[in-house]
Amino acid sequence: MGALEVSGWAVLIQLWTGSIGLNGPLLRSLSQSTEVVSVYRNIHASDYFVYAVDGEQVTCFDQLVPGTRWGSDPDRLIGKMHEVGLSWKGPGIDAPFPRSFALAKKIIGLSFSEDMLNTRLLGAAVRDR
């Protein structure tokens, strides 16, 4: 996993292995007194989006089925979801993973640019307990 700070946000990037982006206890801890947005994809292309605030998962969904949401306020992001094309009307969603990054950008206000991703990352190994 790698981490960098951009515009007051900590950006964590985990490639290919593990499921830190869906780890409930970790998300609760990271979101205490702040917000966390997790755009998750594993090697099997299972895609999830999690928005957590102050230790609570507020809005979560499978990116292929955004109409089925859960959390303490599953409808909080509906307007922003529609703006980026994460709509559940029609036969399917084109490019749900990039659209989920667009949703994250709307929430946190920063772009995931190539320059940002080419920045030196602080690395760490994280093990589940």
For the stretch 39-98, pLDDT in tens is 888 777 778 899 999 999 999 999 888 989 999 999 999 999 999 988 776 556 678 888
Element (H, E) at 50: strand 47-53
* Mean pLDDT taken over the chain: 80
pTM above 0.95, yes or no: no
Task: Give residue 81's pLDDT.
Answer: 94
Q: Are 86 and 93 in contact (CB under 8 A)?
A: yes
Sheet strand arrangement including 35-41? 35-41, 47-53, 56-62, 65-70
